[in-house]
Chain A
Amino acid sequence: MNRRSFLTTTAITATVLSLGLGGAALAQEPLKVAFMYVGPVGDMGWSFQHDQGRQAVDAAYGGRVATSYVENVPEGPDAERVLTQMALAGNKLIFATSFGYMDAVMNVAAKFPDVRFEHATGYKRADNVSTYDARFYEGRAVIGTIAGRMTKTNKIGYIGSFPIPEVVQGINSAFIHARKVNPAVEMKVVWAYTWFDPAKEADAAAALIAEGVDVLMQHTDSTAPQAKAQEAGIYTFGQASDMGAFAPTPRISSIIDNWGPYYVARVGAMLDGSWASTGSWEGIGAGAVGIGEISSAVPAEVKAEAETLAAAIGAGTYHPFTGPLNKQDGTPWLAAGEVADDGALSGLNFFVEGISAQMPQ
Chain B
Amino acid sequence: MITLVARPAPSRFWAWATPVLAVLATMIAGGVLFAILGKDPVEAIRVIFWDPLFGANAGYFRGQLFIKAGPLILIAAGLAVGFRAGIWNIGAEGQYIVGALCGASVALAAYPAESVLVFPAMVLAGALGGWAWGMIPALLKTRFGASEILVSLMLVYVAQNLLAWAAFGPLKNPQGFGFPGSRNLQQYPSAHNADLVAGSGIHWGVMAGFAALIGTYVLMSRHIAGFRIQIAGDAPKAARFAGVAPARLVAFCLGLSGALAGLAGMFEVAGPSGQITDSFGAGYGFTAIIVAFLGRLNPIGILLAGLLMALTYIGGDMAQLMLQLPAAAIQVFQGMLLFFLLGLDLLTNYTVKWGWARA
- Chain A residues engaging chain B, CB cutoff 8 angstroms: 34, 40-41, 68-78, 80-82, 84-86, 88-89, 99-100, 103, 107, 123, 162-165, 193, 346-349, 360-361
Q: Is B273 an interface residue (CB 8 A)?
A: yes
Nearest-neighbour CB distance to chain A for B167, whole angstroms, equals 9
Interface residues of B in 171-216 (CB under 8 A from A): 177-181, 184, 186
B57, B313, B320, most chain A CB atoms within 10 A: B320
> Given A77-B273, A88-B57, A89-B321, does the pair A100, B279 have CB atoms closer than 8 Å?
yes
* Contact across chains for A103 and B321 when beta carbons are under 8 A apart: no
* Contact across chains for A68 and B324 when beta carbons are under 8 A apart: yes
* Contact across chains for A348 and B317 when beta carbons are under 8 A apart: no
Question: Which of B179, B186, B327 contacts A164, CB < 8 Å?
Answer: B179
Please name all residues of chain A whose beta carbon is closer than 8 Å to the beta carbon of B326 when the two chains form the complex. 41, 71
* Contact across chains for B179 and A77 when beta carbons are under 8 A apart: no
- Chain B residues engaging chain A, CB cutoff 8 angstroms: 56-57, 60, 64, 67-68, 161, 164, 168-169, 177-181, 184, 186, 268, 272-275, 277-280, 282, 313-314, 317-318, 320-322, 324, 326-328
Please name all residues of chain A whose beta carbon is closer than 8 Å to the beta carbon of B317 when the two chains form the complex. 70, 73, 78, 81-82, 85
In angstroms, Cα B328 to Cα A84, docked, is: 22
Please name all residues of chain A whose beta carbon is closer than 8 Å to the beta carbon of B318 when the two chains form the complex. 85
* Contact across chains for A78 and B282 when beta carbons are under 8 A apart: yes
Nearest-neighbour CB distance to chain A for B189, whole angstroms, equals 16
Question: Which of B181, B272, B328 contacts A100, CB < 8 Å?
Answer: B181
Q: Name the CB-closest residue of B to A163.
A: B168
> Given A100-B181, A164-B180, A347-B178, does the pair A76, B321 have CB atoms closer than 8 Å?
no
> Given A76-B273, A361-B169, does the pair A34, B321 have CB atoms closer than 8 Å?
yes
Please name all residues of chain A whose beta carbon is closer than 8 Å to the beta carbon of B57 when the two chains form the complex. 88
* Contact across chains for A162 and B321 when beta carbons are under 8 A apart: no
In angstroms, Cα B277 to Cα A72, docked, is: 17
Please name all residues of chain B whose beta carbon is closer than 8 Å to the beta carbon of A193 when the two chains form the complex. 161, 164, 278
Please name all residues of chain B whose beta carbon is closer than 8 Å to the beta carbon of A103 when the two chains form the complex. 184, 186, 274-275
Question: Which of A40, A84, A123, A346 contacts B60, CB < 8 Å?
Answer: A84
* Contact across chains for B277 and A75 when beta carbons are under 8 A apart: yes
* Contact across chains for A123 and B177 when beta carbons are under 8 A apart: yes
* Contact across chains for B278 and A162 when beta carbons are under 8 A apart: yes
A74, A78, A86, A163, most chain B CB atoms within 10 A: A78
Nearest-neighbour CB distance to chain B for A163, whole angstroms, equals 6
In angstroms, Cα B58 to Cα A85, docked, is: 11
In angstroms, Cα B68 to Cα A86, docked, is: 18
Please name all residues of chain A whose beta carbon is closer than 8 Å to the beta carbon of B178 when the two chains form the complex. 164-165, 347-349
Show 17 A/B contacts (Cβ-Cβ < 8 Å), sorted by A.
Answer: A40-B328, A68-B321, A68-B322, A68-B324, A69-B320, A70-B317, A70-B327, A71-B326, A71-B327, A76-B273, A76-B282, A77-B273, A80-B272, A81-B64, A81-B317, A163-B168, A164-B180
Other contacts beyond A68-B324, A69-B321: 18, CB < 8 A? A69-B320, A69-B324, A70-B321, A70-B327, A71-B326, A75-B277, A76-B272, A76-B277, A76-B279, A77-B67, A78-B313, A80-B272, A85-B321, A100-B181, A103-B186, A123-B177, A164-B179, A193-B278
Q: Name the CB-closest residue of A to B282.
A: A74
In angstroms, Cα B279 to Cα A162, docked, is: 12
* Contact across chains for B168 and A162 when beta carbons are under 8 A apart: yes
In angstroms, Cα B162 to Cα A193, docked, is: 12
* Contact across chains for A82 and B321 when beta carbons are under 8 A apart: yes
Please name all residues of chain B whose beta carbon is closer than 8 Å to the beta carbon of A162 when the two chains form the complex. 168, 180, 278
9 interchain residue pairs of minimum CB distance: A77-B272, A72-B327, A349-B178, A70-B320, A347-B177, A76-B273, A75-B279, A88-B57, A71-B327
Please name all residues of chain A whose beta carbon is closer than 8 Å to the beta carbon of B186 when the two chains form the complex. 103, 107
In angstroms, Cα B321 to Cα A71, docked, is: 9
Nearest-neighbour CB distance to chain A for B42, whole angstroms, equals 20
Q: Name the CB-closest residue of A to B271.
A: A77
In angstroms, Cα B317 to Cα A68, docked, is: 12
Nearest-neighbour CB distance to chain A for B327, whole angstroms, equals 4
Nearest-neighbour CB distance to chain A for B302, whole angstroms, equals 21
In angstroms, Cα B180 to Cα A80, docked, is: 19
In angstroms, Cα B282 to Cα A346, docked, is: 28
Nearest-neighbour CB distance to chain B for A107, whole angstroms, equals 8
Please name all residues of chain B whose beta carbon is closer than 8 Å to the beta carbon of A84 when the two chains form the complex. 60
Nearest-neighbour CB distance to chain A for B314, whole angstroms, equals 7
Nearest-neighbour CB distance to chain B for A325, whole angstroms, equals 18
Q: Name the CB-closest residue of B to A77.
A: B272
Please name all residues of chain A whose beta carbon is closer than 8 Å to the beta carbon of B279 when the two chains form the complex. 74-76, 100
Please name all residues of chain B whose beta carbon is closer than 8 Å to the beta carbon of A89 when the two chains form the complex. 321-322
Q: Name the CB-closest residue of A to B187.
A: A103
Q: Name the CB-closest residue of B to A80.
A: B272
Please name all residues of chain A whose beta carbon is closer than 8 Å to the beta carbon of B161 when the two chains form the complex. 193
In angstroms, Cα B52 to Cα A84, docked, is: 13
Please name all residues of chain B whose beta carbon is closer than 8 Å to the beta carbon of A164 when the two chains form the complex. 178-180
* Contact across chains for A40 and B327 when beta carbons are under 8 A apart: yes
Q: Name the CB-closest residue of A to B274.
A: A103
> Given A76-B279, A86-B321, does the pair A99, B179 have CB atoms closer than 8 Å?
yes
Please name all residues of chain B whose beta carbon is closer than 8 Å to the beta carbon of A99 when the two chains form the complex. 179
